[in-house]
Structure 1
Amino acid sequence: MSSHRAGKTIRLGIIPKKLRRERYMCRKTLWLNILLLVLVVGFAASPAVGQAVYGSIFGTITDQTGAAIPGATVTITDVGKGTVSEVTTNEDGNYTKQRLIPGRYQVKIGATGFKTFIQEIDVAADVGSRLDAQLEAGAVTEEVTVTAEAPVLKTDRADIATTFSERQVEELPIFERNFTAFQLLTPGTQRLMWQHAAAENPQGSIQIMVNGQHFSGTSFQLDGTDNRDPILGIIVINPTLESVTESKVTTQNYDAEFGQALAGVVTAQTKSGTNELHGSAFWFRRNDTTSARNPFTQATPNRLTGKTIPDTLWNQFGGSLGGPIIKNKTFLFGDYQGTRSKVGRSVLAFVPTAAQRAGDLSAFLQPAAAGAPMVMTTTGQMVPFQVNMIFDPTTGDPMTGAGRQVFADPTRATPGNPLGLNIIPANRLSAQAQRLLSLLPGPNRPDLTANNFSSGGAGVFDANQLNIRGDHYWTTNLHLFGRYSYARYDQSGPGLYETPGGPPIGGPGLGTDGFAGSSATRNHSIAAGFDYTLSSSVITDFRFGFFQYRVRVSPNGIGTTPATDAGIPGLNLDDFSSGMPAFFINGTGSFAFGYGLSDRLGRCNCPLLQDEKQWQFVNNWNYLRGNHAVKFGADI
């Protein structure tokens, strides 16, 4: 169990040394980042330097002879919003316009004595879009409109990245519409075999390795602010597909401003409104109408539902709406997505029979092999050794076990077992163990020796997520934006051995990802900032980021004290250690079984209580001089 509050981490239970070390280092790094000011200075031969949240357009303007045209006016218009900005070419005919929100832009180039050149181009975040133009001689009133797309060959940067456009995000078939699945479409990425449990990662963040590097070295950013929990290393807000305008996965040679990343950088930009009112609505549904019973595991009806078909229900619904508040100036976009899921499982298991609970384990004995050594019973008789014999731990050498005697109870002998071998006398049975065993259900398939218990159940998963973003263009040189995202996840699942109205004793989890318990997650994320063009050569932007990752994972039976009630002290100490402790009976093959609560929470290091908050301040400056650019800034 873990409790994480106000910069202090308290651990109860057994946590692997590697996990303790990684979590301590992550936490230490988080606080050091608050105190450390990182100065990043970069020089580029092209002014199209990386910009994390924004994109840029740059190029060279020449005449038909290839001579540069200085002083040409380049007018750049956001096709969706109608916002306009202008730059002029320098003495070498070069121009650049930075701090552009990802989207479609019209570029209009005019110069005295030449026809006006017009072409549209797509701009992506952290990417410079090159648009060169060769102007034809003629009147400025004459226009040459180019409909071909600009070349996609990247000559200005060395990073290796894959960018997913809005159309790709919307139309590519992704299972359960999980945004992080796009990462796996990038060369060099691989899904980590060990994934965080659904209980502590209900947002479905997929952990990836980039070029073989550890998954914790991958940085996740949403609208230019951190979106990665430093403790678990997973995405805090897994953006809905309706809210994403584009995503970029950089696997090599990323910019210095992403210095906290050791493996790769995954960025996503949210949508903003446009001059036109647009909306969408969707509903996806799957159920068990056409499902069939699993004849190998579900021979009897589910004790909770009375059905022989495991429950399957997946509903995902929502919509988006965006448009202008003030045309060409202020825009708003929002979206909502809800998920209602109920996924059933049917499981085969073993539970002790009435005779076995009373100490009669003779059914596990196997015939003695020829020439088997002789052993002594607790009644003083010598018998040949048989596999699965039960020895009295109070006899023989306590260090080596030599000379131990086989349990035998002649008073419970049968014609097939005349010596009563492998039967523990009633006066040697543990009262505490008997009390705990009495909570287990009996076999519902008594005709089978192994796997004599089958049942099923369903886990419930509810999710609600919303995003809202506003953009305001104060002037052509000053743009402000703000975004708020909220995600709420509730998950629960029963244990295999639990019955309606009965004690919550756990067993293999029947919920999502083998989960048995309850999980409540409440995540918040805020991003806000502005970009300001001070002059034709100086541009700055500021961003503020905040997120809260709060998750509580608890087993069923919180507040109950079955261990204390059975006479076992030191286990049910408080709410987090309440409920049925985990037990595992190390039998043979199909006769081994486990029950309890705390070991049936999937792969979660649980019970878990984590409340992580992080603040971030970013300020970048770009200085353009001739054909060169200098970028510096701080990220705290």
Structure 2
Amino acid sequence: MLKFDLQIVRWLLLTVFAGASSLTAQTGTSSLTGTLSDTTSAAIAGVAITLTNEESGAAFRTQSNESGAYRLSSLVPGTYRLEAVASGFDKVIRKSIVLSVSQTVAVDLVLLVGQTSETLTVEASVPVTETQSSSVGQLVSRKMVSGLPMPNRAATALVALAPGVVMIDSGQGAENYPVFAIAGGRARNQNFTLDGGNVTNAVGLTRPQQMTSLPMDAMQEFRVISNGYSAEHGHSAGGVITLSTRSGTNELHGSVFEYLRNSALDARYFFSPTKAPLRMHQFGGTAGGPIRRDKTHFFATWEQTRQLTSTAGLWTVPGLAQRDGDFSEVRDGSGQLKQIFDPDTTAGTQRQPFPDNRIPQNRFDPVSRAILGYWPEPNRAGNASGGNNYAANADSNLKRDIVVGKVDHQLRTTDQLTFRYYLNNSFIENRGSFPRPEAAPDANRNDVRIQSILVGHTHTFNAALINDFKFSFFQRKFIDDRYGSDQKFASTLGLKGVSDAAFPIFTVPGYAALSNQVGRFQTPIRDTQFLESVSWFQGRHALKIGIEHRRGRNTEIRDRSSSGQFTISPLITSRPGVAGTGDAFASFLLGEVNAASINVSDEITSRAYYWAGYAQDDWRVTDRLTINAGIRWEAELPRRVDQDRQNSFDENAVNPVSGTPGIVTFSGRNGLPRQAFATDRNNFGPRLGFAYRLPFTRETVVRGGGGIFFGPTVSNTIGDAATTGFSTSASLVVPQADLLSSLRLRDGFPVTDRPVLDASFGAVGRGQRPTLAVGFFEQNRPTPLSYQYNFNVQRAVATDLVIEVGYMANVSHHLTANDLSLNQVAPSLMGPGDAQARRPFPQFSNVYIINPAIGNSTYHAGYVRGEKRFSKGLSFLAHFTWSKFLDDVAAANEYGDPHSYMDAYNRRLDKSLSGTDVPYRTVVSVLYEVPRVRFNHVLDAVASGWKAGAFGTWQSGAPFTVVTLANTTNAFSAGPQRADLVGDPEPSNGDRTPGRWFNTAAFANPRQFQFGNSPRSVLRGAFQQTVDVTLAREFLVTEHYRADLRGEFYNV
């Protein structure tokens, strides 16, 4: 079991039990504000205000100031009762005030002249319009969480209910968190808070993805903030998610549950020969109640998941004749015979074909022969070119336990404490699609343990001054292991120069790869956060000033390919310069390798830090107009590696080995900085917005705002990146793949020794074959920057129904992106011959920037939203979003497949539709409960207790890019070679089929030594529609016990 840092625990205990008055941002809580006046609209000062949580009995007190205004902050979301008492006036009680997470609600009261012994009680719902904030967002209530269908019971999958959200994955695997993008932001680049504390990955070291997936029974509610968030939120240019766990009440309550899914009730996947098996059991329970009434309450949830799933897949494997060397029936996509040429007959640029398109078996490489049996044999006919001839279901076994516990304690009316604990303990086995999982490209094993704690303390000095403090900490153990690590494959296969750690990786274009996943041993990754703030209420100004500090740490080993990674090209068996000839599997049989590498890191411990400060003023100018103004400063202190095990690169220094520019440099040596890159401290983000209720109406609110927001400096997990010199690493590439190979399998990988860490590190002389690829962070690395603005109008057409029409935009610069090669041959030098000598850094096989901050994007969206709060048994939420999303870089976890760069010297060619561009998206959710039939007991027994919920999505398909199978530029280009667009890609008759989605004749292979002219994201996939439905019946067993029977139907 992982243990928390002892010093952190000591510090935490001292903080809690000393009752320190400290400060926090109020993320994850609620606020109540308002004014008190008499019937002449004159402000009343000194009114005693008491706010009581109707479920827990916790009471909070303040009084109105000289402007008649009051404010209560840091409130747990829930339902409250407000009492106002002033001498000479009737006592006023306002009941059923619902406060939601990250929301400020205004409740204005008019006091009547009278005696305090007289009480006026008012029950009125909180307005459905948002009058105190200019941000664009969506509340997902407890009713939605418990009532809508969710296939994986991951509550945050309901982020899809917010305008601007594009869902990519609704949640699966060990962590079970969904993947999505919000309103022009990147996937897995949101800022998540749980009860006000951070629950995203380690700052500065990994992509800022969600690390805690709450079961639906543990979630109270959450809010998606898509655009224009206040200054207390930061470290995100693409949305904020504030989550709140359930709290205990004065009533003891609990539940037990069992959810079952089974493939016996499922339909067969369209392309699969058999139904994909699925068996899922999710069971557990909840308990909550008082430890001391009105003072101390607890709530706990336990959920266990046991799941067997299977993913259907289509693969192309070598046919039986091909395994014997017979390619006489191998054809390309147009039905033409693929001619196979003998590389041993190469004379200049000429080469002789194999007789009858057959490779003699005495020419088979012995290592290739030993590997053949690890490919499964075909089990279906395949298409005209022999592709998709193997179908299989990849089984996955998951065991997961999640525990969530929370305690709220009110020391006195001026002091509140909160403690929350989260545990996710998971193990998953993916056995892959092949009979032998050790060689299946989709097989691996994950062992994951995530722990998170939060402690919060709120102290109220007086009616105008509140101090808060929050401390959060999480750690994650993640072990990604491979099958067959004990089978000594290198020895069995006869492959020399590589380790026995796992099965080697063989990439054979046009065929299924044989490989193992990257071995990753992260033990553990940690993030520690301190939040402090002071809230000061003066007149009609609610001012909040705060600071945030985070510390990230990651210790891991990555074995990317110590067993060898070998890429086979069809070009070595082609006729040089003639497209459509050659076959990658034929090259494999001969043992001809185009590129080869090995890579495994030492244990790397990295650290990074984050600081932020902010000031926010929510100024209620009048009862109709609220101004939200703020400014936030933030900076990441970039990654440092223990013992300075980190490299960089000097592009200008002359290499002593090759005499050409470019040397590898090392942190902390020769006066170089220890950080990965320079700290960008010039990150000041002002925010300004307004909410205005139109005169002569309480139903229409006009809102708008804008601001500058900063994102994280890394968008992908960097792990052991930029640790060249502190790993066993070597790379072999060939300058012209149709004439030469980098090695033959029978010869094995050359012996690799670690060179001295000096200016000559890893370089080779002119004309020699390089062995080292160098990745590094550019030193002057700006922080990702986003300009966001919005405008919308809300109209309450009924007390529980609001319609909203709005616009929002996100224009971003310096976005981090996929790694960018700097070692591409310049287009003016592209041509036949030795391309390696023409590269900018010929002494290295590659030189690339890790996660370069070079991206730009623009997002514009209009939306229409309608929401009815739950009343009279019915609620619904519907929205339509119309948007356009352009960018010039790709990043991990795009919705579509836009690919990344093509020509590093002309990146203007990369600007196109983003992979996450979804121009049309409609979402509708409905909850309905059959009302009681009080006039007929029989009918009531039959009809009452029924509940139904539905969640539907209709949206445009994902963009994708057409690339060539083989890269014929001979330029070591920065990315795949795009095809030439020579016609209209839309089918001529307008009819599409799964086998002919676009006009393939509209694309052609570019001429040799040239880039293709088709853009990124040139095509779009099929329109998508999904409707999930739930139907449930509640049975009353006794006065205190009930039973629910529930069925959920997905993709109906």
Q: Secondary structure of the residue that 1:176 maps to in structure 2?
A: coil
Q: Secondary structure of the residue that 1:361 maps to in structure 2?
A: coil
Does structure 1 conserve the Cα–Cα contact (< 8 Å) formed by 2:382 and 2:388? no
Alignment equivalent of 1:622, drawn from 524, 527, 535: 535
The residue number in structure 2 matching 1:469 is 406
Residue type at the aligned position of 2:352: Q
Alignment equivalent of 1:608, drawn from 498, 505, 520: 520
The residue number in structure 1 matching 2:545 is 632
Q: Does 1:406 align with 2:353?
A: yes
Residue type at the aligned position of 1:312: L
The residue number in structure 2 matching 1:218 is 190
How many residues align? The count is 517
Q: Which region of structure 1 is more displaced relative to structure 2, 246-255 or 351-360?
A: 351-360
Structure 2 CA distance for aligned equivalents of residues 204 and 73 of structure 1: 47
The residue number in structure 2 matching 1:136 is 112
Structure 2 CA distance for aligned equivalents of residues 197 and 430 of structure 1: 44
Q: Kindly tell me: are residues 236 and 433 of structure 1, through their superposed partners in 2, closer, same or farther at Cα, counting changes over 3 Å?
A: same
TM-score normalised by L of structure 2: 0.47
The residue number in structure 1 matching 2:433 is 496
Q: Does 1:87 align with 2:59?
A: no
Does structure 2 conserve the Cα–Cα contact (< 8 Å) formed by 1:530 and 1:542? yes
Structure 2 CA distance for aligned equivalents of residues 296 and 245 of structure 1: 40
Residue type at the aligned position of 1:570: G
Structure 1 CA distance for aligned equivalents of residues 381 and 188 of structure 2: 49
Q: Which runs of 5+ in 2 are unaligned?
A: 1-23, 550-1052
Q: Return the structure number with greater relative CO, CA threshold 8 A, min gap 6.
A: 1
Structure 2 CA distance for aligned equivalents of residues 447 and 163 of structure 1: 48
Structure 2 CA distance for aligned equivalents of residues 173 and 445 of structure 1: 36
Does structure 1 conserve the Cα–Cα contact (< 8 Å) formed by 2:329 and 2:337? no
Structure 1 CA distance for aligned equivalents of residues 316 and 26 of structure 2: 59
Q: Kindly tell me: are residues 331 and 389 of structure 1, through their superposed partners in 2, closer, same or farther at Cα, counting changes over 3 Å?
A: same
1:444 deviates by: 5.1
Q: Kindly tell me: are residues 290 and 151 of structure 1, through their superposed partners in 2, closer, same or farther at Cα, counting changes over 3 Å?
A: closer
The residue number in structure 2 matching 1:52 is 27
Q: Kindly tell me: are residues 83 and 582 of structure 1, through their superposed partners in 2, closer, same or farther at Cα, counting changes over 3 Å?
A: same
1:327-374: CA deviation from partner (whole Å, max 9, x where unpaired): 1111111001122221224545454455533323334379xx9xxxxx
Q: Does 1:395 align with 2:345?
A: yes
Structure 2 CA distance for aligned equivalents of residues 335 and 197 of structure 1: 19
1:428 deviates by: 1.5
The residue number in structure 1 matching 2:256 is 281
Q: Secondary structure of the residue that 2:159 maps to in structure 1?
A: helix
Residue type at the aligned position of 1:271: R
Does structure 2 conserve the Cα–Cα contact (< 8 Å) formed by 1:506 and 1:556? no
Q: Kindly tell me: are residues 191 and 289 of structure 1, through their superposed partners in 2, closer, same or farther at Cα, counting changes over 3 Å?
A: closer
Q: Does 1:228 align with 2:200?
A: yes
Q: Kindly tell me: are residues 78 and 518 of structure 1, through their superposed partners in 2, closer, same or farther at Cα, counting changes over 3 Å?
A: same
Alignment equivalent of 1:506, drawn from 424, 436, 440: 440
Alignment equivalent of 2:78, drawn from 103, 115, 127: 103
Q: Kindly tell me: are residues 309 and 479 of structure 1, through their superposed partners in 2, closer, same or farther at Cα, counting changes over 3 Å?
A: same
Alignment equivalent of 2:477, drawn from 545, 550, 554: 550
Alignment equivalent of 1:76, drawn from 51, 65, 71: 51
Q: Secondary structure of the residue that 1:182 maps to in structure 2?
A: helix
Structure 2 CA distance for aligned equivalents of residues 215 and 295 of structure 1: 28
Residue type at the aligned position of 2:162: T
Q: Secondary structure of the residue that 1:632 maps to in structure 2?
A: strand
Does structure 2 conserve the Cα–Cα contact (< 8 Å) formed by 1:506 and 1:580? no
1:257 deviates by: 1.9
1:391-443: CA deviation from partner (whole Å, max 9, x where unpaired): 11011225x3x1x12223xxxxxxxxxxxx22222321211111111344445
Residue type at the aligned position of 1:94: A
1:497-544: CA deviation from partner (whole Å, max 9, x where unpaired): 325xxx73215x4xxxxxx22112111111101000122222100100
Q: Kindly tell me: are residues 110 and 533 of structure 1, through their superposed partners in 2, closer, same or farther at Cα, counting changes over 3 Å?
A: same
1:93 deviates by: 1.9
Residue type at the aligned position of 1:315: H
Q: Does 1:208 align with 2:208?
A: no
Structure 1 CA distance for aligned equivalents of residues 529 and 370 of structure 2: 54
Q: Kindly tell me: are residues 348 and 219 of structure 1, through their superposed partners in 2, closer, same or farther at Cα, counting changes over 3 Å?
A: closer
Q: Secondary structure of the residue that 2:264 maps to in structure 1?
A: coil
Structure 1 CA distance for aligned equivalents of residues 267 and 251 of structure 2: 48
The aligned runs of 1:189-204 (5 Å cut-off) are 189-192=165-168, 202-204=174-176
Q: Kindly tell me: are residues 102 and 65 of structure 1, through their superposed partners in 2, closer, same or farther at Cα, counting changes over 3 Å?
A: same
Q: Does 1:582 align with 2:505?
A: yes
Structure 2 CA distance for aligned equivalents of residues 136 and 437 of structure 1: 90
Residue type at the aligned position of 2:408: D
1:119-168: CA deviation from partner (whole Å, max 9, x where unpaired): 12112232221111112233222221111213243333322222222222
Residue type at the aligned position of 1:557: G
Residue type at the aligned position of 1:146: V
Q: Secondary structure of the residue that 1:71 maps to in structure 2?
A: coil
The residue number in structure 2 matching 1:593 is 511
Does structure 1 conserve the Cα–Cα contact (< 8 Å) formed by 2:404 and 2:421? yes
Alignment equivalent of 1:254, drawn from 218, 229, 237: 229
Structure 1 CA distance for aligned equivalents of residues 272 and 458 of structure 2: 61
Does structure 1 conserve the Cα–Cα contact (< 8 Å) formed by 2:454 and 2:472? yes
1:457 deviates by: 4.7
The aligned runs of 1:304-343 (5 Å cut-off) are 308-343=274-309
Give the fraction of aligned pairs with identical amino acids, expressed as a percent. 30
The aligned runs of 1:288-437 (5 Å cut-off) are 288-291=263-266, 297-298=272-273, 308-352=274-318, 355-364=321-330, 387-397=337-347, 400=349, 402=350, 404-408=351-355, 421-437=356-372
What is the aligned-residue RMSD (CA, Å)? Answer: 2.8
Q: Secondary structure of the residue that 1:471 maps to in structure 2?
A: strand
1:185 deviates by: 1.2
Residue type at the aligned position of 2:199: N
Q: Kindly tell me: are residues 626 and 441 of structure 1, through their superposed partners in 2, closer, same or farther at Cα, counting changes over 3 Å?
A: closer
Residue type at the aligned position of 2:75: L
Structure 2 CA distance for aligned equivalents of residues 66 and 50 of structure 1: 33
Structure 2 CA distance for aligned equivalents of residues 293 and 129 of structure 1: 49
Q: Kindly tell me: are residues 453 and 153 of structure 1, through their superposed partners in 2, closer, same or farther at Cα, counting changes over 3 Å?
A: closer
The residue number in structure 2 matching 1:149 is 125
Does structure 1 conserve the Cα–Cα contact (< 8 Å) formed by 2:395 and 2:432? no
Q: Secondary structure of the residue that 2:432 maps to in structure 1?
A: coil
Structure 2 CA distance for aligned equivalents of residues 454 and 263 of structure 1: 39
- More strand as a share of residues: 2
Structure 1 CA distance for aligned equivalents of residues 189 and 269 of structure 2: 42
Q: Does 1:117 align with 2:29?
A: no
Q: Secondary structure of the residue that 1:257 maps to in structure 2?
A: coil
Does structure 2 conserve the Cα–Cα contact (< 8 Å) formed by 1:51 and 1:127? no
Structure 1 CA distance for aligned equivalents of residues 408 and 114 of structure 2: 39
Residue type at the aligned position of 1:127: Q
Structure 2 CA distance for aligned equivalents of residues 358 and 335 of structure 1: 59
1:450 deviates by: 6.2
Q: Kindly tell me: are residues 352 and 126 of structure 1, through their superposed partners in 2, closer, same or farther at Cα, counting changes over 3 Å?
A: closer
Structure 1 CA distance for aligned equivalents of residues 132 and 431 of structure 2: 56
Does structure 2 conserve the Cα–Cα contact (< 8 Å) formed by 1:583 and 1:595? yes
The residue number in structure 1 matching 2:750 is none
Q: Secondary structure of the residue that 1:438 maps to in structure 2?
A: helix
Residue type at the aligned position of 2:519: P
